[in-house]
Amino acid sequence: MSLRFLAPPHYRLHRTFGTYRMGPGDRTLRLERGRLQAALHTPEGPASFEAEQGSDSIRVQLWGDGADWLRLHMEALLGLCDDPTGFSPRDPSFRSVWKRTLGIHLPTLPVLFPRLVQVVLLQLVTTGEGQRAWGRIVRDLGSLAPGPTGLRLPPRSVDIAGAPWVRYVADGVPHKQARTLVRCARTTAALEASGTWGGEEALQAVAALPGIGPWSVGYLRGTAMGDPDAVITGDFHLPHSAAWILAGRERGTDEEMLDLLEPYRGHRFRVIRALWASGIRAPRRGPKRGLRPLPGSPGRATPGRRSNPASPWLG
């Protein structure tokens, strides 16, 4: 099945999805400059797609039993229903960042669960540990996606819910997050059985679960629901990045970050998204923290990054 969409002015596919790949080992999504491939489960079955940006349009190929269902959601999934044209940066320092990152749109994902799993895993100590756990879970519980992409489908909610939480400890998921993962999967499986695969109802249901706090909800609102005003509190790095870029201070708090974002109310997540994509970092203090060995494996920790779950370094 083939589709074609007109590309909005300045739209850039690779920038729009720059934070959506869970590291180099993520086999559910592949992103190259101007081309995106991804796989997912839909209410009508598995699907995969390839989107390629040309000079003035985006061409999409879809495969699998879920292709017809996914076709109806592709425009929003690609961020083409998001309109950033009314956003005008006020601060000169941020204006330059906005120009450097121009072309980012906010996707609305039609299926919430894969992003929810990633959010839980990215609560781990380092980004690399969350990426590693995702890769292992996809390897063990995912399956080959339809079509010629060679991708794997992410695990379904029933796949993760069907295993005891201790099974995920072997993938490097701490006990707390492993329990949260299974709770989220069971809740999502019940929602999907009733026909709810995404949207506000699904988000509110998982937001009420232990282990899903303001950071997780803010992250899901921004990166899965396409909310341009979502805010993320409780992140390790984001307040420092906001303070450094928007105010020239090396360190910041959540409260200070919210004050800096207040002039952009209505578009606060758009600002956050541009901060991630800018590549500008607040000066680091202290050594990098390594990846912890998997349970039962010998060896020392390997170099890694402290977790910034919503950062542009995920892919």
At 227, which CATH number? 1.10.340.30
pLDDT mean over 276-298: 70
Q: Is the predicted pLDDT of residue 64 greater than 90, yes or no?
A: yes
Q: Is the predicted pLDDT of residue 302 greater than 70, yes or no?
A: no
Q: Is the predicted pLDDT of residue 308 greater than 50, yes or no?
A: no
Cα(274)–Cα(104) distance, integer angstroms: 8
pLDDT mean over 74-96: 92
Neighbouring-strand partners of residue 152: 144
Buried b (16+ CB within 10 A) or exposed e, 257-287: bbebbeebeebbbbbbbbbbbbeeebeeeee
Q: How confident is the model at residue 303 (pLDDT cuts 50, 70, 90)?
A: very low
Tell which residue, 178, 182, 166, 188, has the closest CA to residue 123: 178
- pLDDT for the residue 291: 62
**What is the number of helices (H) and of strands (E) in the chain?**
13, 7
Q: How confident is the model at residue 313 (pLDDT cuts 50, 70, 90)?
A: very low
Residue at 180 is within a domain: yes
- Strands ordered across the beta sheet of 45-53: 2-6, 57-63, 45-53, 35-42, 29-32
Tell which residue, 83, 139, 131, has the closest CA to residue 106: 83
pLDDT in tens, 207-256: 999 999 999 999 999 999 999 999 999 998 899 999 999 999 999 999 99
Neighbouring-strand partners of residue 153: 143
Residue at 44 is within a domain: no
Q: Is the predicted pLDDT of residue 309 greater than 80, yes or no?
A: no
Residue at 293 is within a domain: yes
Residue at 26 is within a domain: no
Q: How confident is the model at residue 288 (pLDDT cuts 50, 70, 90)?
A: low
Domain of 204 in residue numbering reads as: 87-314
- The helix (run of H) or strand (run of E) holding residue 140 is helix 127-141
Yes or no: say if 94 and 248 are a contact pair by the CB < 8 Å rule: no
Residue at 98 is within a domain: yes
Cα(193)–Cα(159) distance, integer angstroms: 14
pLDDT in tens, 24-39: 999 999 999 899 999 9
- How much of the chain, in percent, has pLDDT values that exceed 70? 90
Residue at 123 is within a domain: yes
Inter-helix orientation angle 268-278/92-100, to 10°? 70
Q: Is the predicted pLDDT of residue 152 greater than 70, yes or no?
A: yes
pLDDT in tens, 162-198: 999 999 999 999 999 999 999 999 999 999 999 999 9
Q: How confident is the model at residue 305 (pLDDT cuts 50, 70, 90)?
A: very low
Q: How confident is the model at residue 296 (pLDDT cuts 50, 70, 90)?
A: low
Cα(260)–Cα(65) distance, integer angstroms: 46
Average pLDDT, the chain: 91
Q: What is the total count of domains within the chain?
A: 1
Cα(152)–Cα(157) distance, integer angstroms: 15
pTM of the model: 0.89
Residue at 71 is within a domain: no
DSSP state of 306: B
Residue at 96 is within a domain: yes
How many C-beta atoms surround the C-beta of residue 188 within 10 A?
Answer: 26
